Structure 1
Amino acid sequence: YPNTKIKGDGQVVVIDFSDGGKIELVPAFEQSDGNFKYPDSRNRGSWKTTKPKPEIEKSKSLNSNFNNHFSNLTRLIRQWKNHMGFSFKGLLIDTLISDLIDDKGISEIYYSDYNILLKDIFEYFSNQDKNREYWYALGSNQKIYNNDGAKFVNKAKQALKKIEDASEEKLTEVYRQLFGRKFAQSTSTTNRASNEEFIDELFNVNIEYNIVLECEITQDGFRKALLSDFLKSRFKIKNRKSLDFEIIKSDIPDNLLSDVKYYWKVRNIGAEAIRRNCERGAIFSGKIKHHEDSQFKGDHYVECYAVLDNTVIARDRITVPIDPLRGRDFIE
């Protein structure tokens, strides 16, 4: 591929295609026991061992015995982590769903519908110890190390609560909030502003890293405050405030940052936004900081996306609740 971007990245050689597709090549050497040795150039270089064959065989067995639901569910959970915007290793996703199936028994889950399945999955994820050092991979029993604080645990608790609190009529909408607007799209319409864009229409999405957004609120005559403090206290903010959004945390590796591009989306929601014809929703390029002014009532939100080689590798969203009459000027 003489015209294709190719680069080395630790354990793999990455081939990036112009349509957003990506192939990662791992040079590996089969050993007499059926395992493979592969080189890792990070931290001055080392040889490591991987055991893909028993992992593949376990996955095939689960799919065969579970009428392909194993693959469907693991893909759905990957869609959840990509849409919600947090890192969650693919092998750990496969392992936890495998463990759940083994714990509950194939037959019990097989005859359940997906409403029960998803609730079971999020409950199982929620009960994992986020301080656990590692999990044993399906089939191979290789150690999957917890090097990101098991962010999926708290995310699963939030998802489980949404599902448990929703009425049967609202479940599909809750699933769209968790898995994206295309979930069960054929059964109902989506609420989209006239000029609104969605990141999955512009780029591929594969969340590998985590970023955290914060917003500093300022106005003459008042001390500065953080939007996260307002949200924790369930306060709304008044209009005519200066809002400065910034990525305050990121675990994107330093060697990638020079090639990362940042995009933002500001979505104004509510009757006031519709009346003023100011719903917004276009996606635009920017940097790690972005400035806005609070203008009118509504539960708006701001999203930021980190894009590398035409793929969103990290994203975060922060809600901006504005109420001119009942909003707060500062945190007491």
Structure 2
Amino acid sequence: MANCHKLFLKFNTLIALKSKQKERLRVSRNAIRDRIRRYFQNKQNGFFPKFHGQGSLIMNTIIEPLDREFDIDDGIYLKVEAKPIQSVSRLHQWIWEAINGHTKQNPIDKQTCVRLVYAGQYHLDLPIYYIIEGQTPYLAHKSKGWIKSDPREFIKWFNEKADNDGQLKRIVRYLKAWSDYSKGDLPSGLIFSILAANNIVFDERDDIALYKTLLNIKSSLKRSFVCYRPTIPADENLLEDYSKTNKDYFLEQLGSFIQSAEKALDEKTSQKDACKAWQRHFGEDRFPFESYVNTEEFIENRFSIDIRYELKIDCLVSQQGFRPHSLIEMILSRLPLLRGKNLKFYIVDCNVPKPFQVKWKVRNVGEEATRRDQIRGQILNDSGNHQKNESSLFHGAHFVECYIIKDNICVARSRIDVPIKFPE
């Protein structure tokens, strides 16, 4: 099984917004805040706006998109004792006037916010809320009027779902990067954040965690194609307006992504082909490519060692039309092990009292193994019959090891060399 965990961590550093960029955004955002404060002070309309960052920048799930034009959100909160007498449109107009002229492009008055565009860089969305002490904020929506909405609660909800290692936030970034690279329309970052948080499967490796999370998301959407906002406005289905075309496209792309992930994680897939499988959905120029990664694992790093029992393994070498031979007997008889043979490694003798676990390691060595990206060396669980089936694919001084694990301790181990030769 190709292990792309380290490549995913590298990918995460490539797509995540850099600390210097974040600092520039904060400086720019603070300048806008000051400008809005001055506007309201000069207008003397009785409002003293407060601000609260929201969205992916505050949640630390923001990515740098391929077109380099990302968005950040900064909520404007008007603390009042009662619902403002001013209309939603009037408040939108005030914010528009406050920031107009700050950039070359005029602000854009949208349904849920006023957008300030920094051409070729990013845009800043400014939603407007009124809030009465101890109550839920209301968002100024141009077509729906004042609607209950509290993005601060969503941030709290998401952070409570997040793990200390940051894997959930990385998974959200990977999903956003997939959406960013996709030619069609995939869900928003908000939807992906909810789907990921509700379906996350944590794992030591990001590639496995992403695959299992994708499976859960697909299974959930197959049961019911919905994505409910977990906070106010309550019971809002963010996928409600999806057309059948968009729904089918999303599920089709999700299925394709899962198929590529399965190929990348297949035991027979090389590191090179695993990278290519992920690149199909993230881009060749974006997802790191590494033709060879040393994936060898060592039993000493996973379990305590106390060899107190006997273990012996052998290998049955067979080919259609020929009688099977013991690999140990072949080596003693100096018979060559050629390519194209079927190899069945099995336990010959073991005096470890049950119950116990059996684990195997197959290690390929040599120039051809490196060229084929088939060095391998991961420690894998036994399939249940105390056997390991392989093939003599290419030349090299390979070996197979077997371990017996009891009470989380390696109590027996055995090794057999597998010297595969070119035919004479």
Structure richer in strand, relative to its length? 1
Q: Please tell me whether Structure 1 or Structure 2 has the larger radius of gyration of its CA atoms.
A: 2
TM-score of the superposed pair, with normalisation by structure 2: 0.38
TM-score of the superposed pair, with normalisation by structure 1: 0.48
